[in-house]
């Protein structure tokens, strides 16, 4: 991955941060997008720089087309190309469908699904011009199985799978691969707030009997981002301890 240029959306913490660290360790130049905490983004950038990586931080909202276009432009202006796109930015607004506010449904779709579409669109011409690209979209086991109380999130992540497979067919002859990673129950800042009883109940649903880590997801993302994954496209890799087959 040496000297490859990678854009990671939602890269300031959690899974996005771990993906950035892995790619930094392998020699990639990084463009880390964030929407909220600049402090956390700077912390991630600092950790990547300690590993020898060149890093550019770009604030932006992936649900806005102009921000996506500017993010790709900033990457090309800084490094001359974009080789890898990790569509990691995402949010949850959980609630039962019958009482879910339309605004909560719309916001989750806008960021998780529309944002993925807009970023793929923004980077597509650059990658096709290069005749090289690796796009990895973050789906979820929930997009495969569904989950009570997460109709909006499940719909957005199922949509990501459809986008992935469709765009993979469009660019397969252009040297560009498009794949998705579907995490299961992963230990992040979001899940850390859950009580131990809730975590224990989730563990019962996982055949491996263990909650995953951000590193587990980053391992899959890094593999799909490498040159050796050239013959893998349009696939959904579940990293869930067997949760989706239980």
* pLDDT tens, N- to C-terminus, the chain (246 residues): 899 999 999 999 999 999 999 999 999 999 999 998 889 999 999 999 999 999 999 999 999 999 999 999 999 999 999 999 999 999 999 999 999 999 999 999 999 999 999 999 999 999 999 999 999 999 999 999 998 999 999 999 999 999 999 999 999 999 999 999 999 999 887 666 666 777 787 788 898 988 899 999 999 999 999 999 999 999 999 999 999 986
Q: Which helix (H) or strand (E) holds 179?
A: strand 176-183
**Tokens in use for 18?**
């771990």
Q: What local confidence, expressed as pLDDT, does residue 204 receive? A: 84
Residue 30 and residue 20 in contact, taking contact as beta carbons nearer than 8 Å: yes
| CA atoms of 111 and 119, how far apart (whole Å) | 11
* pTM (global) more than 0.85: yes
Q: Which helix (H) or strand (E) holds 205?
A: none
Q: Just list the catalytic residues.
A: 153
Cα atoms in the 13 Å half-sphere on the side-chain side of 48: 32
């Amino acid at each position: 991955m040496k000297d490859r240029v990678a854009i990671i959306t939602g890269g300031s913490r959690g899974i996005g941060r771990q993906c950035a660290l892995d790619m930094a360790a392998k020699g990639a130049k990084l463009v880390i997008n964030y929407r909220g905490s600049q402090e956390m983004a700077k912390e991630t950038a600092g950790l990547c720089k300690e590993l020898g990586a060149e890093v550019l931080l770009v604030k932006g909202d992936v649900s806005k087309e102009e921000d996506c276009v500017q993010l790709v432009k900033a990457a090309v202006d800084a490094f001359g190309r974009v080789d890898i796109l990790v569509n990691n930015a995402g949010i949850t607004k959980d609630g039962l469908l019958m009482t879910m506010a339309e605004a909560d449904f719309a916001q989750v779709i806008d960021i998780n699904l529309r944002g993925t579409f807009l970023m793929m669109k923004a980077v597509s011409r650059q990658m096709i011009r290069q005749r090289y690209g690796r796009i990895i979209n973050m789906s979820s086991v929930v997009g495969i199985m569904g989950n009570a109380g997460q109709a909006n999130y499940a719909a957005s992540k199922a949509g990501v799978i459809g986008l992935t497979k469709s765009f993979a067919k469009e660019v397969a002859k252009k040297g560009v691969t498009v794949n998705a990673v579907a995490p299961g129950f992963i230990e992040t800042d979001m899940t850390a707030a859950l009580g131990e009883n809730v975590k224990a109940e989730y563990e019962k649903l996982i055949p491996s009997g263990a909650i995953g880590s951000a590193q587990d997801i980053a391992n899959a993302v890094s593999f799909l981002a490498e040159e050796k994954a050239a013959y893998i496209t349009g696939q959904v890799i579940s990293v869930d301890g067997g949760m989706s087959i239980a």
